[in-house]
Amino acid sequence: MALTTPHAYRRPGFWRRLRSGNPTEAQLGLILLIPAALVLALVMFWPIAQVLWQSLHFERLNVPARGRPFIGLEHYQRMLWGSDMTWDVRHLLGWRLLAFAGAAGLWWGAARGLARWRTALVWTVIAVLVAGLWMGYHPGEAGRWNDARFWNAFSITLIITVASVAGSFLVGLPLALLANVESRWRWLVRIALLIPWAMPRVLVGVMFAWLFNYTNGVVNDLLGRVGIAGPLWLSRAEPAVWAANITIVWATSAFVGLILLAGLQSIDESLYEAAMVDGASRWQRFWAITLPLLRPSIAVALIFRTLTAIQTFDIPYAMTQGGPGRTLETLGIYVSNTTNSLNLGYAAALAVALFGMSLAITVLYLRWIYAED
């Protein structure tokens, strides 16, 4: 009796298994991922590739005669340091000298093993950004760097990012702590948290433009009642930045609050009881238990908030169209304005800069999160 089979047993091949109608889990998974992959490829990755390619070309739709010649990195040169930049000593003065000195110190320390490379890198970036915000990125009219408008957009984007992210956490954390208290009114609290999240950002901008109206707005009326003369919120530079930031914080702190609320609810109750037995005060419990255990939630909220803040468009656009002047012209609004003036090549380069900033922040945060694990 031939007990041996004519062929050695083989696992059914990939396609045979697939055709038999009983695919393996991995096969089924791949098949189920196809629609999502197609959509993302068509609407996300293909356009990004096109923008990258476009940014290397000259294209102005209002100058059709020049066509669409390849110009390499010229747009980026114009954006970041200008096509006619000369390394004048004056360019190194001011904050640049300070930032360079500080950064050099850090890197020297890193090389000597006194600090970690990543710490040096992160603090260099922070020093350059903060010093630039303080004293300006662009040499101004006297200087010869080209696109002052880009650096203006960059600064205001940075200001809005730092201020509104910090603000939404300062407001969002108390919101979460309050929403976590058991009460009969919890449903009302939930609604109050969800309304700012669900409102269209443009309409939030329109709404707050009315609240911040100089003569008939409710903000100035309330300020007047306590004896403060409200400023011309939306037609003076500094108040406009405040107004835009307050509006963005209102619209986004609820989201931060919701994420932190979920984190709070996952904290084990017994930890607090143990701490109370040990006689920890309310503050001590907050600092020693609540905040450390909230870190994952804080990280998630921080990532989402920073990314949306860098892309800020709707609210300043709806409130003042980027004005007064170009005070609130964020990077997003600048991209859109450049597109509307039909300079598609340069708009693509600006869009790449915006995308690059988002990418850098995401990578930084992801590394931070994975380092925590």
Of residues 50-109, those binding another protein (CB under 8 A): 50-51, 54
- Sequence-distant (6+) residues with CB within 8 A of 195 are 254
Instruction: Choose among 349, 324, 303: nearest CA to 72.
Output: 349
- The answer to the question of residue 311 lying near another protein (CB under 8 A) is yes
Number of residues binding to another protein, judged by CB under 8 A:
104
Count CA within 13 A, CB hemisphere, residue 67: 3
Going by C-alpha positions, the residue among 36, 189, 121 that lies closest to residue 364 is 121
Q: How far apart are CA 151 and CA 338, in angstroms?
A: 15
Q: Report in angstroms how near the CB of residue 151 gets to another protein at its nearest.
A: 19
Q: Residue 201 Cβ, how far from another protein at the closest point, in Å?
A: 7
DSSP assignment of 311-329, as one string? T--HHHHHHHTT-STTTT-
Please identify which residue in 101, 191, 228, 288 interacts with another protein, judged by CB under 8 A: 191
| Nearest approach, Cβ of residue 116 and another protein (Å) | 24
192, two tokens? 């109050």
CB of 241 to another protein, least distance (A): 20
If the CB atoms of residues 124 and 220 are measured against another protein, the closer one turns out to be 220
Q: Which of 156, 147, 149, 152 is nearest to 79 (CA)?
A: 147
Closer to another protein by CB, 155 or 157: give it.
Answer: 157
Closest CA to 352 of 50, 104, 120, 88: 50
- Binding to another protein (CB under 8 A) within 8-37 occurs at 21-23, 25-26, 28-30, 32-33, 35-36
Q: In b/e form, how buried is each residue of 194-233, taking b as 16+ CB within 10 angstroms?
A: eebeeeebeebbebbbebbbeeebebbeeeeeeeeebbeb
Residue 167: C-alpha distances to residues 86, 242, 347 (Å): 40, 11, 30
Q: Is 179 in the site for another protein (CB under 8 A)?
A: yes
Does the protein bind another protein through residue 325 (CB under 8 A)? no
Binding mask 253-292 for another protein (x = CB under 8 A): -xx--xxxxxxx-xx-x--x---x----------------
Task: Indicate whether 183 belongs to the interface with another protein (CB under 8 A).
Answer: yes
Residues of this chain, 198-237, that bind another protein according to CB under 8 A: 198-204, 206-208, 210-211, 213, 215-218, 221
Site for another protein in 133-152 (CB under 8 A): none
Q: Which of 12, 14, 40, 367 binds another protein (CB under 8 A)?
A: 40
Could you tell me the smallest distance in angstroms from the CB atom of residue 91 to another protein? 30
Query: 339 and 327 in contact (C-beta within 8 Å)?
Result: no
**Residue 312's closest CA among 371, 252, 230, 234?**
252
Any contact of residue 323 with another protein (CB under 8 A)?
Answer: no
Q: How far is the CB of 183 from another protein (least distance, A)?
A: 7
Nearest approach in angstroms of CB 314 to another protein is 5
